[in-house]
Amino acid sequence: MTEGARGEPGSSAERSFWESWHQVETLNGLETPPARCASGGPHGLRFTLLYHPDLRRVGARATVVAAPGYAVPLSRLEPDFAQPRSHERAPLCDPHVSRKPHLVTWGADESLTITPAGRGQLSVEGEPIDDAHRFSAEALRAGLILQLSKKIVILVHVVTTAPPAPRHGLVGESDALEEVLRSVARVADLQVPVLLRGETGVGKERVAQAIHQASPRACRPWLAVNMAALAPTTAASELFGHAKGSFTGAHHRHVGLFERAHGGTLFLDEIGDMPMDVQAMLLRALETGTIRPLGEGEERAVDVRIIAATDADLEQAVEQGRFRAPLLHRLQGYTITIPSLRQSREDIPRLLLHFLREELARVGELSRLEPPVDGALPWFPRSLMVRLIQHGWPGNVRQLRNVARQLVISSRGSDAVVIDESLERMLEQAGRTARPPSDAPRLAERRDADASTANPADHPMDREVDEDALLRALRQSHWSIGPAAATLGVSRTALYRLIERSPHVRKAADIPEDELMRCHEACGGDLDAMSARLEVSKRGLTLRLRELGRSGRLREAPPD
């Protein structure tokens, strides 16, 4: 189907286009003919909602399973988005988003061409686009972040059309996580050791638990130990146990983790930190299925499945003589590499909201995530979500959970998320991933070329805040800079820039003296009432009144 064949918005040709692929997402996820379901099979183009003012819709998606070349319309009224494994579908339905569709065309070379519906309505990777732009296949594979009318955030990316794997309690819907879950399903019922590899904080223990829960051992013991937390002198005893009197202080027989996990699964985290002598004992246990507690002469048979995990380069450790090569080979009965969070950007909003719900429930403020009413701004702003999606997350899911907790505690009792100094520093210092999102021309190159001639106030993040949102945030926060900046999800510095260039926001220094004096008299010198009446910040008003007091033109100025 070409753009010409697609028809006018809302036409029968256009409706039949969406109806033709709406069938592919069912209650059980993507459903395609059997010949097209294998992993690594045909690809689809997916639109995932990363932000919507109604936060309940975050994570909903629309998927096109069709040959490249189709011009996919994207507007307020189409397509219909649905949460994974749900029958409930709805279009964006945001009044700020254009009814006239943006066109997203997937090329035969797997590049993407985006044609906006009009000027100022669409940005890609933070850069406004007013005419058609082509984005490379590499950029599309990484995912392109679209912002519609500064209200909706959508990730456009390519997905395989394999059926979804069982979740086992893991949160996320990205292709990267799906591949991990498929690996879990492949190996769970086997008795081979599994080695989990990935950066710190990616959730290796959660994946290990998923393997255990999906295995025939699910009802048997599950034990986990972090080898980095064990002292070298006690590691062997903790794992294999010891007999009474086997060493000084061994007053009682100690049953080790291997015996306690008999019939079940033992998870060895940070396996690269295991002492060399203990590595030899683990290797024998894996080879023979027996252990010998310290101080005992006889071996004991154990039936334990080993799942090990590491973020270290074990091959390098072997070369340096810090890890035994035979043990590495034994542990690698099957290897699963868990992707970093920056490789699964579509999962960031879903995980963040999952953690926010947990933390808000603990402090009794779960209602913060309910849809805004009567034109109020959402508790969690779009601009902050974009900054979090663009963050590199070196600490991965663990760091994201900590950020969610920090946000909730810092914002207790507040009508808007409060970004404290530590989080602001983290976001300010985080550079965006360097990758050219466009081929003709590349937006990043154009931004760099224009940097020397650009208006200093024209900061990329500032362009994401419109005048209406700015005024609502200031009024909602009673013209207090900190809470208003938090509501908008920008730094205080960015908010000062926005105020400076806004034609609708005036500063206390700009108010005529006679107007200021009349307001002071009418409000009886009440600074809160004056701030609300004049619509300026209380701090700026205080400074202006002090200046008038020092000059003798105001008798009752605020004290210094």
Most confident of 57-61, 250-254, 292-296, 436-440: 57-61
* pLDDT score of 29 more than 90: no
Q: What is the pTM of this model?
A: 0.72
348 or 18, higher pLDDT: 348
Q: Tens digits of per-residue pLDDT, 419-473?
A: 888 888 888 776 443 343 444 334 433 333 333 333 444 444 454 577 777 887 8
pLDDT band at 225 (very low <50, low <70, confident <90, very high): very high
- SS3 string of 44-83? EEEEEEEECCCHHHCCCEEEECCCCCCEEEECCCCCCEEC
Q: Tens digits of per-residue pLDDT, 81-125?
A: 999 988 899 999 998 898 999 999 988 888 999 999 988 889 998
403 or 454, higher pLDDT: 403
CB 546 within 8 A of CB 560: yes
Cα maximum dimension of the chain: 98
CATH of 343-501, one of 1.10.287.610, 1.10.8.60, 3.30.559.30, 1.10.357.10: 1.10.8.60
pLDDT band at 346 (very low <50, low <70, confident <90, very high): very high
Q: Which fold has domain 175-337?
A: Rossmann fold (3.40.50)
Q: How far is CA 295 from the centre of its chain?
A: 50
Question: What's the CA gap between 285 and 270, in Å, rounded?
Answer: 18
* pLDDT score of 475 more than 90: no
Question: Which of these, 57, 103, 105, 96, lies nearest to 80 by C-alpha position?
Answer: 57
Q: Tens digits of per-residue pLDDT, 236-250?
A: 999 999 888 777 777
pLDDT computed for residue 283 by the predictor: 96
Token reading at 254: 């100690």
Backbone angles phi, psi at 461, to 5 degrees: -70, -30
Backbone angles phi, psi at 519, to 5 degrees: -65, -40
Question: What's the CA gap between 333 and 329, in Å, rounded?
Answer: 7
Q: What percent helix, strand, coil does the chain show, rounded to 5?
A: 40, 15, 45
Q: How many residues does the chain have?
A: 560
Which has the minimum average pLDDT: 8-22, 394-408, 501-515? 8-22
**Hey, where are the domains in the chain?**
3-160, 175-337, 343-501, 508-550
Backbone angles phi, psi at 538, to 5 degrees: -65, -35
CB 18 within 8 A of CB 80: yes
Question: Which of these, 355, 377, 411, lies nearest to 54 by C-alpha position?
Answer: 377
pLDDT band at 296 (very low <50, low <70, confident <90, very high): confident
Q: Do domains 3-160 and 343-501 have the same CATH topology?
A: no
**Per-position b or e across 152-187, b if 16+ CB within 10 A of its CB:** bbbbbbbbbbbbebebbebbbbbbbbbbbbbbbeeb
CB 265 within 8 A of CB 222: yes
Element (H, E) at 305: strand 305-310
Position of tokens 């600074």?
527
pLDDT band at 266 (very low <50, low <70, confident <90, very high): very high
- CATH classification code of 3-160: 2.60.200.20
Q: How far is CA 315 from the centre of its chain?
A: 31
437: helix, strand or coil: coil
